[in-house]
């Protein structure tokens, strides 16, 4: 059995682990974050964004704040990814000496993923600083921007498709499975460390359905009058990434505060 913490850490006996796990399940709440942040805020922002789009002038009203590459949605996406990067680095620094190699690699890849996602969303700063696109990207980028995701369909759609699938399986299917079985926090369950918990569920649902209106519009005569669906989906992917790493950090912190030094991972 592989360990979350490295082999130099003292491992308690099996009976002690079972007793501690029972006490933790009884003492700790189901969720790692207040419901306000993982349930009400994502739902409220999505409803507010749609209402602003429907009832505000896109040129002079609130809607104008949300549109284009330097609007609220694009900037929030980058900001949340940078916060997620900070939490991932903090997790790696705070628990790095105790962690086994596998979670260290996972956290390192998580950091690199946040950097790449945020950098691509902001065209690596071009949206803010307004520099001229270099010859290299001008030749291969269909929007004349300093990024890679607009250089080919493969780099644009494949990563989004993979992330969307992982969010659907890990953020919706897995939490609902555990909720239906009425299972609570269990430090002995290996999948509990790898899978997102219920705090990611509302955001995962919104990220999964955000582009459905535009797809329905293309297939039917229905009109939802919301043309920033893809940007909204990308924002909620960033929220999901942030909520997951915060959740992981809090769970590991609780593990330490509970006096636990071993968990299968």
Predicted local confidence at residue 28, as pLDDT = 43
Residue 1 within any structural domain of the chain: no
Q: Are 130 and 118 in contact (CB under 8 A)?
A: no
Question: What is the CB-side half-sphere exposure of residue 227 using CA atoms within 13 A?
Answer: 5
Q: Are 189 and 4 in contact (CB under 8 A)?
A: no
The per-residue pLDDT for range 161-184, each reduced to its tens digit, is 999 999 999 999 988 887 888 766
- As a whole number of angstroms, the distance between CA 63 and CA 72 comes to 10
Judge whether residue 262 has pLDDT over 70.
no
Residue 16 within any structural domain of the chain: no
Which of 132-136, 156-160, 181-185 comes out lowest in average pLDDT?
Answer: 181-185
Domain count, the chain: 1
Placement of tokens 């903090």 in the chain: 90
Residue 37 within any structural domain of the chain: yes
The per-residue pLDDT for range 12-59, each reduced to its tens digit, is 555 555 455 445 444 444 568 999 999 999 999 999 988 888 888 777
SS3 assignment, position 12: coil
Residue 80 within any structural domain of the chain: yes
**Tokens encoding 132:** 């001229």
**Closest Cα partner for 207 from 240, 161, 169, 252?**
240
Residue 134 within any structural domain of the chain: yes
Predicted local confidence at residue 21, as pLDDT = 46
- As a whole number of angstroms, the distance between CA 83 and CA 244 comes to 12
What's the pTM?
Answer: 0.85
The per-residue pLDDT for range 65-120, each reduced to its tens digit, is 887 788 899 999 999 999 999 999 999 999 888 888 888 899 999 999 999 999 99
Give the whole-number percent of the chain exceeding pLDDT 70: 82
Dihedral in degrees, nearest 10, Cα atoms 16, 19, 21, 24:
-120
* Other beta carbons within 10 Å of 25: 15
The per-residue pLDDT for range 214-229, each reduced to its tens digit, is 888 888 877 766 778 8
Calculate mean pLDDT across residues 185-189. Answer: 62
Predicted local confidence at residue 212, as pLDDT = 87
Residue 17 within any structural domain of the chain: no
**Closest Cα partner for 265 from 165, 257, 255?**
255
Domain extent for 235: 33-257
Judge whether residue 2 has pLDDT over 50.
no
Residue 15 within any structural domain of the chain: no
Contacts of 149 (CB under 8 A, 6+ apart): 120, 155, 156, 159
Burial of 53 (0-12, 13-18, 19+ CB in 10 A): buried
Residue 18 within any structural domain of the chain: no
Predicted local confidence at residue 30, as pLDDT = 53
Predicted local confidence at residue 242, as pLDDT = 98
């Amino acid at each position: 059995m592989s360990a979350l913490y490295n082999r130099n850490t003292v491992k308690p006996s099996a009976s002690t682990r079972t007793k501690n796990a029972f006490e933790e399940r009884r003492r700790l709440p189901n969720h790692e974050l207040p419901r306000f942040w993982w349930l009400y805020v994502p739902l409220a922002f999505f409803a507010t964004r749609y209402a602003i789009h429907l009832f505000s002038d896109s040129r002079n009203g609130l809607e104008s704040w949300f549109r284009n590459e330097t609007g609220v949605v694009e900037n929030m996406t980058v900001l949340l990814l940078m916060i997620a990067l900070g939490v991932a680095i903090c997790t790696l620094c705070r628990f790095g000496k105790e962690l086994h190699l596998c979670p260290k690699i996972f956290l390192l890849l998580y950091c690199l993923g946040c950097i790449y996602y945020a950098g691509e969303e902001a065209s690596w700063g071009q949206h803010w600083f307004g520099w001229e696109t270099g010859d290299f990207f001008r030749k291969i980028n269909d929007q004349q921007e300093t990024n890679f995701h607009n250089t080919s369909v493969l780099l644009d759609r494949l990563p989004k498709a993979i992330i969307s699938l992982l969010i659907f399986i890990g953020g919706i299917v897995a939490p609902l499975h555990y909720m239906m079985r009425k299972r609570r926090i269990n430090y002995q369950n290996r999948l509990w460390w790898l899978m997102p918990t219920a705090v990611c569920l509302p955001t995962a649902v919104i990220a999964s359905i955000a582009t459905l209106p535009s797809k329905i519009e293309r297939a039917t005569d229905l009109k939802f009058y919301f043309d920033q669906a893809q940007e909204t989906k990308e924002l909620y992917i960033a929220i999901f990434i942030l909520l997951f790493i915060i959740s992981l950090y809090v769970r590991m912190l609780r593990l330490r505060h509970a006096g636990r030094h071993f968990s299968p991972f």
